[in-house]
């Protein structure tokens, strides 16, 4: 159970994260593809348009300057000043005096005709038709249009700057990158939200299952909006049916245990009382009857204990166990208990500051464990020699999943030591198994018949979030040391009156009460 | 006249064997087989101690307990087949002074009865009169007054109050009170103390919700605030 509780959040998160990531990358991919397409398209559209305009304008301008150009030494201002140009105008006219046979006329030396790529010039001169070419100069994208003039002996150029187009394309691209990112986030959120909705039924199912596992058998899946979904309604009803069946079964088991308990306790009461009467008359009996009476007496005690243990176990098995926590002045209680339980005086060792320590625990269960340890020591260890009470914060070196709390909280340890032969290492775990007679033949654990006590001790401890074990004595003397460790719970501040706790327990007990007989009569 | 004990138990065998065991202790035993019978018998001749089984045909042990408590302070011991909180607290709320779980050892039963008898006849306090502002306790007469008005307490409540009052200001753990007032051993049940303290408060305190005299010392127990 612990495992499932621990791992479920991770796998749930994993699935949700996966769905979220899928949505996010999907949205990003679509957005990026669309952006790329639109950038490319816009770019080529803008360039096409610019080229068309450039070519048309250059052709008109070339025709316009055709007449003026024949005048030798015409200056650029005169030549180009009146033109309505789309780019920077310049021209190459034949000039026999120039080294390459041309004279370049331009307004702006940066866009002189000589700066135009030679390939364009050659192309226009060779084919005698307008041509254009895109190129870069000093990192600036340019479009040069060349139109033949003077019957193809000269060229009129217009160099258009394309940086405005790349600027708009860049800003478009930037916008689209932003939009893609937004789309990815949106997709992710959609995925997260969608997966939450998708997984909510699972979360509900798991929380109800957990409640049931913790003993709240009346927990059911509510018919919420998702549960009315035709796809999920089946899950809800079969889950609820399953829990109901489980509850019914546990109730039956618990009722059976309760009935058996009543049926066994009544004759035992008669036995016990009658035996007492017989014992009172023991002296008047013949010797043979006295022996029989003694046998009866001693086995009566054992039998009663066995019945108590079996009833306790059946309650554990029926899941009908309820803790009954209360405030316990621990050291004083242990002293009184040890005094009453042990045949010889046994010291109870505790640090002075533990004397006033009050812990919240189920006193009856604690005393049962202690009684069992002391009884065990008497039977197999020559009697308890010492009871030690310690308060400590256990180090979490070993991975122990016995204790459910994983915060490094304090614990209280109560150890019963004896001076017997100890428990062999190989048997230290299995002596806590139910009815364990095992290989131990004749030694500890076989009890005077039944090995229920230690397994019950383990259950009593476990139920309170604690544990029991046996270890060698820390002073290396021969003997065993049986330990019960309980989480140290100090009374809550608002719990002003112990009675409130008792009454609260009673109410919750009533809710989960299985003994319908008593309830009917109450 | 000897001590009379009324036992209410529907199981004939238990009833008879318990009667025999109690008679061996030198007590006189009156038997009732059901609740109505028990109440009728008690009205006819009140007993010194009443032993009530909770599971009875007809009206149950809790009702019998309440009915008897309405007319008498007689010490009442509840017998339950189970030690769970519900039965125990309900029994104590119904007015029982103590409880036992089946199967009980008759020696334990007679010890409890003796403790209750000792208490119900308790006039052994050396102090004659105790005063705590408007609260006055006269142990030997078994009388408690607040503002001069007599407060009616059961014997157990009275004994509990006297126990706390004779060491006013001292904190008593539940365990100590169980031992001193009920004569219980280590296995005593703190709920016994809690329920009786609460009942005591409803009678002694002007405002039981915020007690002036019988106060809880958180985690440790109770004390009487002088």
pLDDT of B67 > 50? The answer is: yes
Q: Are residues B112 and B151 in the same domain?
A: no
pLDDT of A364 > 70? The answer is: yes
d(CA A7, CA A24): 25
Whether B210 is covered by a domain: the verdict is yes
pLDDT of A522 > 50? The answer is: no
In percent, the amount of chain A with pLDDT more than 90 equals 15
Chain A residues 129-188 with CB within 8 Å of chain B: none
pLDDT of A407 > 60? The answer is: no
Q: Are residues B138 and B96 in the same domain?
A: no
Q: What is the pLDDT of residues B77-95, one digit of tens each?
A: 999 887 666 778 888 888 8
Predicted confidence at residue B53, as pLDDT, reads 92
Q: B99, B120 in Cβ contact below 8 A?
A: no
Q: Are residues B9 and B105 in the same domain?
A: yes
Q: Are residues B214 and B112 in the same domain?
A: no
Predicted confidence at residue B38, as pLDDT, reads 93
Q: Check if A349 contacts B (Cβ < 8 Å).
A: no
**Residue that terminates a domain, selected from B85, B120, B155:** B120
Predicted confidence at residue B48, as pLDDT, reads 92
d(CA B111, CA B185): 10
Predicted confidence at residue A256, as pLDDT, reads 80
Predicted confidence at residue B125, as pLDDT, reads 55
What integer best gives the mean pLDDT of chain A? Answer: 78
Whether B115 is covered by a domain: the verdict is yes
- Choose, out of B102, B178, B202, B210, the residue to mutate when testing the contact with A (most A CBs < 10 Å): B102
Mean pLDDT of A442-464: 69
Chain B residues 33-72 with CB within 8 Å of chain A: 54-55, 60, 62
Going by pLDDT thresholds of 50, 70 and 90, the confidence category of residue A497 is very low
Going by pLDDT thresholds of 50, 70 and 90, the confidence category of residue A451 is low
Q: Are residues B174 and B208 in the same domain?
A: yes
Predicted confidence at residue B85, as pLDDT, reads 66
**Residue that terminates a domain, selected from B120, B143, B160:** B120
Predicted confidence at residue A5, as pLDDT, reads 44
Q: What is the pLDDT of residues A157-189, one digit of tens each?
A: 888 888 888 888 889 989 999 999 999 999 989
Closest chain A residue to the Cα of B55, Cα to Cα: A518
Q: A10, A143 in Cβ contact below 8 A?
A: no
Q: Are residues B141 and B116 in the same domain?
A: no
pLDDT of A77 > 90? The answer is: no
What is the domain range of residue B151? 130-224
Which of the two residues, A102 and A286, has the higher pLDDT score? Answer: A286
Residue A162 has which token pair?
């394309």
Whether B158 is covered by a domain: the verdict is yes
Q: How many CB atoms lie within 10 A of CB A445?
A: 25
Whether B96 is covered by a domain: the verdict is yes
Q: Check if B175 contacts A (Cβ < 8 Å).
A: yes
Q: Check if B99 contacts A (Cβ < 8 Å).
A: no
pLDDT of B118 > 80? The answer is: no
d(CA A418, CA A433): 21
Q: Pick the range with the lowest mean pLDDT from A155-164, A309-318, B66-75, B169-178.
A: A309-318
What integer best gives the mean pLDDT of chain B? Answer: 86
Q: Are residues B87 and B190 in the same domain?
A: no
**Residue that terminates a domain, selected from B120, B154, B177:** B120
Going by pLDDT thresholds of 50, 70 and 90, the confidence category of residue A454 is confident
Whether B194 is covered by a domain: the verdict is yes
Q: Are residues B113 and B138 in the same domain?
A: no
Question: Is the CB of B185 less than 8 angstroms away from the CB of A336?
Answer: yes
Q: Pick the range with the lowest mean pLDDT from A233-247, A444-458, B19-33.
A: A444-458
Mean pLDDT of A204-210: 84
DSSP A420: S
Query: Is residue B168 helix, strand or coil?
Result: coil
Q: Are residues B198 and B137 in the same domain?
A: yes
Q: Total domain count for chain B?
A: 2
Which of the two residues, A225 and B193, has the higher pLDDT score? Answer: B193
Nearest chain B Cα distance for residue A299, angstroms: 14
Predicted confidence at residue A58, as pLDDT, reads 84
Helices and strands, number each (H, E), in chain B: 8, 11
Provide the pairing of β-strand A102-106 with B49-53: unpaired
Query: In chain A, which residues have their Cβ closer than 8 Å to the Cβ of B60?
Result: 521-522
pLDDT of A45 > 50? The answer is: yes
pLDDT of A267 > 80? The answer is: yes
Question: Is the CB of A336 less than 8 angstroms away from the CB of B102?
Answer: no
- Is 0.90 topped by the overall pTM? no
- Choose, out of A328, A518, A519, the residue to mutate when testing the contact with B (most B CBs < 10 Å): A518
Mean pLDDT of A353-367: 86
| CATH at B20 | 3.40.50.2300
- Choose, out of A272, A296, A301, A335, the residue to mutate when testing the contact with B (most B CBs < 10 Å): A272
d(CA A414, CA A437): 26
Closest chain A residue to the Cα of B88, Cα to Cα: A506
Nearest chain B Cα distance for residue A443, angstroms: 30
- Choose, out of A255, A357, A362, A502, the residue to mutate when testing the contact with B (most B CBs < 10 Å): A502
The beta strand positions in A65-192, using DSSP E, are 88-94, 102-106, 131-137, 140-149, 154-161
pLDDT of A505 > 50? The answer is: no
Predicted confidence at residue B1, as pLDDT, reads 58
Whether B125 is covered by a domain: the verdict is no
Which of the two residues, B1 and A223, has the higher pLDDT score? Answer: A223
Q: Are residues B115 and B8 in the same domain?
A: yes
Going by pLDDT thresholds of 50, 70 and 90, the confidence category of residue B12 is very high
Q: What is the pLDDT of residues A288-343, one digit of tens each?
A: 999 999 999 988 888 888 888 887 777 776 666 677 787 788 888 888 888 888 87
Q: A67, A56 in Cβ contact below 8 A?
A: no
Whether B113 is covered by a domain: the verdict is yes
b/e code B108-131 from CB counts within 10 Å (16+ = b): ebbebbebbbebbebeebeeeebe
Q: Check if A507 contacts B (Cβ < 8 Å).
A: no
Going by pLDDT thresholds of 50, 70 and 90, the confidence category of residue A284 is very high
pLDDT of A428 > 90? The answer is: no
Question: Is the CB of B174 less than 8 angstroms away from the CB of A270?
Answer: no
Chain A residues 236-275 with CB within 8 Å of chain B: 258, 261-262, 265-274
**CA nearest to A310, candidates A270, A365, A261:** A261
Predicted confidence at residue A351, as pLDDT, reads 87
Closest chain A residue to the Cα of B188, Cα to Cα: A364
| CATH at B195 | 1.10.10.10
Residue B71 has which token pair?
């007319």
Q: Are residues B198 and B92 in the same domain?
A: no
Q: Check if B197 contacts A (Cβ < 8 Å).
A: yes
Whether B159 is covered by a domain: the verdict is yes
Q: Are residues B66 and B88 in the same domain?
A: yes
Within A146-229, where are the H helices?
163-213
Predicted confidence at residue B139, as pLDDT, reads 81
Closest chain A residue to the Cα of B85, Cα to Cα: A506
């Amino acid at each position: 159970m612990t495992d499932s509780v621990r791992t479920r959040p991770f796998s749930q998160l994993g699935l949700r994260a996966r769905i979220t990531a899928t949505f996010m990358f999907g949205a990003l991919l679509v957005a990026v593809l669309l952006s790329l397409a639109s950038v490319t398209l816009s770019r080529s559209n803008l360039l096409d348009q610019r080229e068309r305009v450039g070519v048309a304008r250059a052709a008109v301008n070339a025709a316009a300057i055709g007449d003026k150009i024949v005048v030798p030494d015409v200056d650029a201002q005169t030549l180009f000043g009146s033109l309505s140009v789309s780019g920077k105008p310049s021209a190459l006219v034949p000039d026999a005096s120039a080294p390459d046979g041309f004279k370049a006329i331009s307004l702006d030396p940066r866009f002189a005709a000589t700066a135009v790529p030679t390939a364009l010039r050659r192309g226009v001169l060779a084919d005698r038709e307008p041509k254009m070419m895109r190129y870069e100069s000093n990192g600036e994208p340019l479009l040069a249009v060349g139109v033949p003039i003077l019957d193809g002996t000269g060229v009129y150029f217009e160099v258009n700057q394309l940086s405005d187009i790349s600027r708009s394309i860049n800003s478009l691209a930037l916008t689209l990158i932003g939009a893609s990112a937004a789309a990815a986030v949106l997709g992710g959120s959609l995925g997260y939200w969608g997966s939450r909705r998708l997984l909510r039924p699972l979360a509900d199912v798991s929380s109800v299952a957990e409640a049931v596992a913790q003993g709240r058998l009346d927990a059911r899946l509510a018919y919420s909006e998702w549960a009315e979904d035709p796809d999920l309604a089946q899950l809800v009803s079969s889950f609820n049916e399953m829990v109901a069946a489980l509850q019914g079964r546990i109730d039956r088991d618990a009722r059976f245990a309760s009935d058996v308990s009543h049926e066994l306790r009544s004759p035992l009461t008669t036995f016990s009382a009658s035996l007492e009467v017989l014992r009172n008359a023991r002296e008047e009996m013949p010797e043979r009857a006295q022996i029989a009476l003694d046998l009866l007496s001693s086995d009566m005690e054992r039998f009663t204990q066995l019945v108590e243990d079996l009833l306790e176990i059946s309650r554990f098995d029926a899941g009908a166990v309820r803790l009954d926590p209360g405030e316990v002045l621990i050291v004083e209680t242990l002293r009184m208990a040890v005094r009453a339980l042990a045949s010889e005086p046994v010291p109870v060792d505790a640090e002075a500051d533990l004397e006033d320590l009050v812990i919240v625990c189920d006193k009856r269960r604690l005393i049962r464990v202690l009684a069992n340890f002391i009884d065990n020591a008497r039977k197999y260890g020559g009697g308890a020699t010492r009871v030690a009470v310690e308060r400590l914060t256990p180090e979490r070196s070993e991975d122990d999943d016995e204790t459910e709390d994983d915060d490094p909280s304090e614990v209280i340890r109560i150890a019963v030591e004896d001076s017997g032969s100890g428990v062999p290492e190989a048997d230290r775990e299995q002596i806590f198994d139910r009815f364990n007679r095992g290989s131990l033949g004749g030694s500890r654990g076989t009890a005077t018949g039944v090995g229920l006590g230690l397994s019950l001790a383990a259950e009593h401890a476990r139920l309170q979030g604690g544990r029991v074990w046996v270890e060698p004595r820390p002073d290396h003397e021969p003997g065993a040391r049986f330990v019960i460790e309980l989480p140290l719970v100090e009374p809550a501040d608002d719990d002003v009156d112990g009675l409130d706790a008792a009454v609260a327990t009673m109410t919750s007990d009533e809710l989960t009460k299985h003994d319908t007989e008593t309830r009917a009569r109450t | 006249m000897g001590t009379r004990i009324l036992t209410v138990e529907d199981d004939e065998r238990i009833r008879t064997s318990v009667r025999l065991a109690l008679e061996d202790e030198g007590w006189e035993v009156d038997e009732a087989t059901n609740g109505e019978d028990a109440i009728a018998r008690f009205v006819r001749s009140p007993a010194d101690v009443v032993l009530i089984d909770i599971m009875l045909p007809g009206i149950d042990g809790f009702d019998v307990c309440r009915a008897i408590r309405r007319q008498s302070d007689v010490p009442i011991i509840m017998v339950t087949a189970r030690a769970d909180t519900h039965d125990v607290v309900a029994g104590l709320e119904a007015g029982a002074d103590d409880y036992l779980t089946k199967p009980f050892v008759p020696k334990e039963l007679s010890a409890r009865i003796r403790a209750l008898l000792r208490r119900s006849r308790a006039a052994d306090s050396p102090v004659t009169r105790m005063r705590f502002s408007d609260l006055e306790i006269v142990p030997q007469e078994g009388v408690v007054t607040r503002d001069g008005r007599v407060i009616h307490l059961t014997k157990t409540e009275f004994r509990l109050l006297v126990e706390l009052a004779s060491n006013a200001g001292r904190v008593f753990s539940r365990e100590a009170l169980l031992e001193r007032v009920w004569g219980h051993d280590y296995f005593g049940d703190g709920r016994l103390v809690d329920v009786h303290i609460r009942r005591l408060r409803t009678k002694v305190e002007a405002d039981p919700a915020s007690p002036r005299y019988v106060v809880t010392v958180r985690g440790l127990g109770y004390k009487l605030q002088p």
